[in-house]
Amino acid sequence: MSETTRPPKALSAGAWVAQGLLYALFAVVIGVFSQWPTYRHLATDQALIKVSFSHTGKPLGECRRLSEAELAKLPPNMRAPISCPRERSPVTVEVDIGGQPALRRTSAPSGLSRDGASAVYQRLVVPAGEQRIAVRLNDDARGTGFAYQREATVTLAPAQVLVIDFDATRGGITLQ
């Protein structure tokens, strides 16, 4: 059969050079953008405070003793004498940095019955150096004011991460 039915295949020397250049360009694009430009998501003179907790607030209502009549209406296997509401209090946290309010957040309890933990995760970028930090947390909607408070002066190095958490077993608000 004639060559008129075959597409031309021979490449010129210039085509081979162009091919090499295109492969090189592909490699350069990958090589460069796989590591350049360098990315800095925090300035060199800044530090980071992470305010985060996952804490279950106090019950929203008081437990109460059921009357004999109320107990009698319940199936025998469910006649617990004390009834406590499932819903938990939202948890409110306030953070002041250098005497200025930096965060105020009220977190609702999780779960369909609102009986789970309240959680907060917030990043606060601050200048490195000495910082006066005040943290207040309230986990009881029936009370007034803040059940937990902590104040501290910390010195933060550039790029340092300070975690403000809540751990009831360690006395409440923790700074680490």
Contact 25, 73 (CB under 8 A): no
| Beta carbon nearer to other proteins, 116 or 127 | 116
SS3 for 152? strand
| Beta carbon nearer to other proteins, 41 or 65 | 41
Q: Select from 38, 100, 153, 169 the one that contacts other proteins (CB under 8 A).
A: 38
**Does residue 13 bind other proteins (CB under 8 A)?**
no
What is the end-to-end Cα distance of the chain in Å, rounded?
82
Mask 114-133, x = binds other proteins (CB under 8 A)? --xx-xxx-x----------
**Does residue 159 bind other proteins (CB under 8 A)?**
yes
**Does residue 23 bind other proteins (CB under 8 A)?**
yes
SS3 for 50? strand
Contact 140, 58 (CB under 8 A): yes
In whole angstroms, give the CA distance from residue 144 to residue 136: 12
In whole angstroms, give the CA distance from residue 124 to residue 131: 12
Q: Select from 18, 74, 84, 152 the one that contacts other proteins (CB under 8 A).
A: 18
Angle at 94 between CA 88 and CA 96, to 5 degrees: 170
| Beta carbon nearer to other proteins, 42 or 71 | 42
In whole angstroms, give the CA distance from residue 133 to residue 102: 10
* Number of residues near other proteins (by CB under 8 A): 51
What is the contact surface with other proteins in residues (CB under 8 A)?
1-2, 4-9, 11, 15, 18-19, 21-24, 26-27, 29-31, 33-36, 38-42, 44, 47-48, 50, 52, 54, 110-111, 116-117, 119-121, 123, 157, 159-161, 163, 165, 176
